[in-house]
Amino acid sequence: MNQTFMKEKPIIPLILSMALPMTISMLVNALYNIVDSYFVAKISENAMTALSLVFPIQNLVASVTIGFAIGINALIAYFLGAGDSKEADRTASVGVFLNTIHGIVLMFGCILLCPMFLKMFTKDADILSLGTTYSNIVFLFAIPQSAAMSFEKIFQSVGRMKASMICMLIGCITNIILDPLLIFGIGIFPKMGIRGAALATGIGQLATLSGYIFLYFVKPLTVKIHMNKMLPDRHLSAKLYSIGVPAALNMALPSLQISVLNAILAAYSAGYVLILGAYFKLQTFLYLTANGVVQGMRPVIGYNYGAGESKRVKQIFKVSTCIIAIVMVVGTILCLAIPGSLIGLFTSNAVTISIGKTALRIISLGFIVSSISVTASGALEGLGKGKESLIITGLRYIIIMLPLAYILSHIFGADGVWHAFWVTELLTAAIALICTKKSIY
């Protein structure tokens, strides 16, 4: 497959053709997250709360594995743009090996530490038991998850977006089908409760990995993974981690944010923790769609950067920002128009739904302006500027957000946390424009 189309095809059709398959798969993945939570909520409100508390650790695993894979993606795209196929092959080989090691470490670490983590946020024995049961199963699949993420970014780096979409859909659909079967014990399947939700997630990840391996051998890539090239050297490893570590931190910071916000909101009631967990499930549907655009943009902008096409790099950034802004407009309209119906997916408690409606309406005020930060962070990763990308994400999730949430919660109560979201997005967008101007323009 000839990658020169990335610098020859008109930009709008190129971005759409690259982003649309990923956006579709991200939408389905977001749907899975909501469906998964919907079925868990049917077990009990405690089960949904347990899932909300485990979510930051799940996000941490995804952050490390996907973040490092973004480093693989960016370097392969750059080397292909520069015409160096040997280095592209070596990057893929070393990247898969190192990310598999990450999966092994995360599997053992998360299973061991998750019970202690849960005790930091609740003393309810039932919630602790449910959370520990779920985590002990779901983190057993960290290794296939890390391998699948590596293959995903390798496929994307050469423009095989449809193949990546198919594999992600296989995993998500498998998960959605298995959720009710294993949770409630339908037909020949045993009733496993929250254990069934965890097992369905793990089997879905295995299905995704199997799809990538099958396609890799049936329809080979221009980039090859070689066993004899997997031994990492200092120079290549440094390049991978210089992009991968900031990218991983970019994705891990929401976990820290959620944990701190859970601690702030827990002082009011467990219902607020549930609302925050429900919001993050809902916003996943929105931001994963935007991330689909970013994933389509990233190899394109990296390839053109490697090929020295600076004018085209600027145009790619502008077009991608506009597309993501449209996605955010749709999300804002939904949260303002039907917030009760959205929160009602996760609880039937009238008081919780009432509080959740207010939360969604306030938080959604920052969606549209956040398109600037989301696009800037992804574009900078594609250019290999991991530190600049990390600055934007750090401001958005931690440096501005958390102190602001703490201060405003003491002024406006729990609603102050919701207001901190849109204020943070506004301030971060202004700084993101400055960082992008220095790096791209």
Q: Classify 123 as helix, strand or coil.
A: coil
Residue 398: DSSP 8-state = I
d(CA 249, CA 246): 5
Q: Is 310 inside any structural domain?
A: yes
Q: How many domains does the chain have?
A: 1
Residue among 16, 37, 63, 31 nearest 288 (CA): 31
Q: Is 349 inside any structural domain?
A: yes
Q: Annotate 269-285 with b (16+ C-beta within 10 A) or e (fewer).
A: ebbbbbbbbbbbbbbbb
Q: Is 418 inside any structural domain?
A: yes
Residue type, 98: L
d(CA 258, CA 264): 10
Q: What confidence score (pLDDT) does residue 19 get?
A: 82
Q: Is 3 inside any structural domain?
A: no
Range of the domain at 354: 8-440
> Given its phi and psi angles, is residue 194 left (phi above 0), alpha (psi -120 to 50 degrees) or beta?
alpha
Q: How far is CA 17 from CA 9, 21, 240, in A?
A: 10, 7, 27
Q: What confidence score (pLDDT) does residue 309 get?
A: 81
d(CA 365, CA 52): 23
Q: Is 295 inside any structural domain?
A: yes
Any long-range contacts for 169-172 (C-beta under 8 Å, 24+ apart)? Answer: 169/24, 169/25, 169/28, 170/207, 170/208, 170/210, 170/211, 171/204, 171/205, 171/207, 171/208, 171/211, 172/25, 172/28, 172/29, 172/31, 172/32, 172/204
Residues 6+ apart with CB under 8 A from 424: 366, 395, 396, 400, 401, 404
Q: What are phi and psi of 83, to 5 degrees?
A: 80, 20
DSSP notation for 301-344: HHHHHHTT-HHHHHHHHHHHHHHHHHHHHHHHHHHHH-HHHHHT
Could you list the mean pLDDT of each consecutive 10-residue stretch along the chain, which spans 441 residues? 70 85 73 76 85 84 89 88 87 94 95 91 89 93 94 89 88 90 91 92 93 93 89 88 83 82 86 86 81 85 82 90 94 93 85 90 95 92 82 91 95 93 95 83 60
Task: Give CA torsion, residues 423, 340, 291, 236, to 10 deg.
Answer: 80
d(CA 292, CA 271): 31
**Residue pointed to by tokens 């930060």:** 373
By the 8 A CB rule, do 202 and 150 touch? no
Tokens of 32: 């899975």
Q: Is 382 inside any structural domain?
A: yes
Q: What confidence score (pLDDT) does residue 421 get?
A: 95
Q: What confidence score (pLDDT) does residue 436 get?
A: 84
Greatest Cα pair distance, the chain, in angstroms, is 60
CB-count exposure of residue 147 (10 Å: 0-12, 13-18, 19+): buried
Q: Is 179 inside any structural domain?
A: yes
Q: How far is CA 232 from CA 151, 221, 322, in A?
A: 18, 21, 39
d(CA 196, CA 200): 6
Residues 6+ apart with CB under 8 A from 274: 45, 48, 49, 52, 346, 347, 352
d(CA 97, CA 119): 34
User: 3-class secondary structure for 241-278?
Assistant: HHHHHHHHHHHHHHHHHHHHHHHHHHCCCHHHHHHHHH
Q: Classify 345 as helix, strand or coil.
A: coil
Q: Is 1 inside any structural domain?
A: no
Residue type, 393: T
Q: What confidence score (pLDDT) does residue 322 get?
A: 93
